[in-house]
Amino acid sequence: MLKLPILFLLLLCLSSFTSGEIKKLKIRSDNRPMILFERFGFTHTGQVSISVSSVSVISSLATSDPSGLGFFLLSEESLIQVLIELQQNPNFCVLQSNYIQHLFTFRELSLPPNSSFDRAYPVTSPNEYSLFFANCAPESKVSMDVRTELYNLDGRVKDYLSAGFIRLPTLYFFSDKLLFLYSFFGYFGKYVRLIKLSFHCKAAKYENMIVKGTFWFGMTEMFSLM
């Protein structure tokens, strides 16, 4: 039977979302062994920015090891190796694995009472990674405010759209031009123009994600249902 940390890691990594939005999350009295923040496709110019503040750890034990709480990146290729490590040793902390990209642990936090951390990390190996927080401290609950940014650099400009979706805005605009030509023919000009408008909205939606790191909700969503 799979141990709880292994089951958590497996289920989280099998989730299908891929998003590079700028995210803010408040975590309160959380004792989960793994917290998945997001999954993102990085190019060779990938960057991960993590800002953590208002950190507190409550433990029923006398002390908790701060090196047992921290953030890391995990690729799908390395997932099976980490699962094997956890299966072989139920007390193994994933933060000690050689198959993860270690980011930082709570040992690097600033001193209380304003415990915080803010740093950006380069991702040198292009791949799709999942950003995790691991809690390997027994009987401990974590509270913190977290802000994450996952992006690729296009020159000096941050591109918040995952590498697997980079070509979508171009695809929508190209399809728009084709539909414009087709709208001159046949009896379906009005319907084709409606589809054309849908492509405009989708392109604007993904363009907003690239530049600002968040989707623009509004008219774009109406036409995304088509």
**pLDDT value of residue 23:** 92
Instruction: Give me the chain's average pLDDT, please.
Output: 77
pLDDT in tens, 169-203: 454 554 555 455 455 554 445 544 555 555 555 55
Stretch 74-103: mean pLDDT:
92
Q: Say if CB 10 and CB 2 are below 8 A apart.
A: yes
Q: How far is the C-alpha of 185 from the C-alpha of 77, rounded, in Å?
A: 49
Of the chain, the percentage scoring pLDDT greater than 90 comes to 48
Paired with 26 in beta bridges are: 145
Domain made up of 4-159: CATH architecture = Sandwich (2.60)
- Would you state the structure tokens that stand for residue 91, as one six-digit string? 């007390």
**pLDDT value of residue 41:** 93
Give the pLDDT band (50/70/90) at residue 34.
very high
Stretch 9-34: mean pLDDT:
73
- Give this prediction's pTM: 0.70
